[in-house]
Chain A
Amino acid sequence: MRGFDIKDFNPKMAFEKGYDYFKSNIKNLVAKDKIGEKREGKWVGPTDAEIRALYDTIIREYKKAQKIADSKPEATVVEPVKTDK
């Protein structure tokens, strides 16, 4: 994917900093010609959809490796029924 590889990213930081940081970091790197692909003299980075897919893959692998469960279902809280007396 346009000069990007999953091994170019630190999964722990991606997990801790979240998608917005991950995306803006990639945009910055492409702007600085640090990452991406050069086409006709111009650096081309991945599309937003590609960044999202890459991020999701990294996080999925990281969670698997760290044995982090996906968000747990909320516990159902049963409110006591108030009865007017």
Chain B
Amino acid sequence: MYNIGTNDGLAPKAPRRIILCPTYDNSETVNKIAISSLVSDALPISVLQTLFDTWWHTDTNNKMLATPQISEFTFTDSDPVKSTSEWFERVMQDPTRDVGFIFNDVTPRVIKQLALIAATSTAYSFYIVTADDKLIGKFDGAYLVPFEIQASSIFVGNKALSGYTEHAKDMITFRLNEARSLDDMFAIPISGGYVTSDDDYWSLIDATCTPSSYTVDGVTLTIVRTARNPSTGVQDPVTGILYTEAAANATDDSDDEAPAASGNWTESSDGVYVWSESGVFTSAKTYTVQISHSGIDVASVTFTIA
């Protein structure tokens, strides 16, 4: 982890995404990044992914929203775009300026969602992800917390249309809530993901699990995406879950089970998994299914053995 304020040899590159989230509050944990979640001094992208919301979620106030890639970063007084750490220092020293982030050719619904955030009464904050894959926020001892945005200062223009030779430039601007000591600014390297990859900065995909045919000798789990595929109208199956990614824990904490061998876990058809293991479950116990598959968030579900 690097302290930008003391300029210990690390010059963060230009911002490539911002991550918007409701303003940090001591009673909330959703937008804080625990320093304890760092692995080898870097933040695994998977930690962020669990915090990301899906675009056009009905409730924008609960989770973080990573923007599409930023093509330019600017001050409103037509200063040249900054590509080095200088921009941090300029902006942080003079919070009375608006700062703008320009996106090229984003979809109308991205603009719509940003406008929704601008219109909400909830106070918003932001993190920055730089071109060299570092997450920048404020360090408060145990957590990295986001920078506050001044109330009602977020502005999102109407969706711009692209011309024959130019991209459509859509811009979000806002103003920092207050000047922050540069000593509080920290950059954490992000591991396992690239700022240029939209897949990495996408939220986990919600999935639903339905247990059936459960006996002491196993269970059948049907796992599908919660959202229907807009092209086909069906819920796509979640395929490729391995035996090491499945578990079932008794709700009374008396029994934690996982398939003992790869042969105990079969994907009989797309998204339908048969866990067959003699005597694995105990009668009259209720089990919670635990699936930990990359990129997928399976809703909690239980089954009770007769």
Q: A29-B263, A34-B266 are in contact. Are A10 and B258 (CB under 8 A)?
A: yes
Partner of A8, one of B263, B266, B276, B278: B263
Indicate if the CB atoms of B258 and A25 lie closer than 8 Å. no
Contact, CB under 8 Å: A22 / B266? no
Most chain B beta-carbon neighbours within 10 Å: one of A8, A13, A32: A13
- In the complex, whether A2 has a CB less than 8 A from a CB of chain B is no
Contact B243 A10 (CB under 8 A): yes
Interface of A is mostly: helix
Interface string of A1-42 (1 = CB under 8 A from B): 000000111101110010001101110110010110000000
Q: How many A-B residue pairs have CB under 8 A?
A: 43
Nearest Cβ on chain A to B171's Cβ, whole angstroms: 51
How many residues in A have their beta carbons less than 8 Å from beta carbons of B?
18
The tally of residues in B whose CB lies under 8 Å from a CB in A reads 14
Min C-beta distance of B244 to chain A, whole Å: 7
- Confirm or deny: B277 has a beta carbon within 8 angstroms of a beta carbon on chain A: yes
Residues of A within 8 A of B259 (CB): 10, 13
Known contacts A25-B278, A28-B278, A32-B276; A17/B260 CB under 8 A: yes
Q: Which of A17, A21, A32, A35 contacts B262 (CB 8 A)?
A: A35
Q: Which of A10, A14, A21, A22 has the most CB of B within 10 A?
A: A10
When chains A and B are docked, how far (Å) is the Cα of A9 from the Cα of B263? 9
In the bound complex, what is the Cα–Cα distance between A25 and B263 (angstroms)?
A: 9
User: For the complex, would chain B's binding face be called helix, strand, loop or mixed by DSSP majority?
Assistant: mixed
Q: Are A35's CB and B261's CB within 8 A?
A: yes
Whether A26 contacts B278 by the Cβ 8 Å rule is no
B260 and A35 contact, CB distance less than 8 A? no
Determine if A29 and B258 form an interchain contact, defined as CB atoms under 8 angstroms apart: no
| Chain A residue at minimum C-beta to C-beta distance from B257 | A13
A35 to B259, CA, bound (A): 14
Asked whether A13 lies within 8 Å of B258 as measured between CB atoms, the reply is: yes
B266 contacts A24, C-beta separation under 8 Å = no
Report B233-287 residues with CB < 8 Å from chain A CB. 243-244, 257-264, 266, 276-278
Give the docked Cα–Cα distance between A10 and B244 (Å): 7
**B1 → A minimal CB distance (Å):** 27
Within 8 Å by CB of B260, from A7, A9, A32, lies A9
Most chain A CB inside 10 Å of its own CB: which residue of B258, B260, B264: B260
Q: Which residues of B line the A interface, CB within 8 A?
A: 243-244, 257-264, 266, 276-278
Interface residues of A (CB under 8 A from B): 7-10, 12-14, 17, 21-22, 24-26, 28-29, 32, 34-35
Nearest first, the 7 A-B pairs at minimum CB distance are A34-B263, A35-B263, A29-B263, A8-B262, A13-B260, A9-B261, A28-B278
Known interface pairs A7-B262, A13-B260, A34-B264; 12 further A-B residue pairs with C-beta atoms within 8 A, sorted by A's residue number:
A9-B260, A10-B243, A10-B258, A10-B259, A12-B258, A13-B259, A21-B260, A22-B260, A25-B264, A29-B263, A34-B263, A34-B266
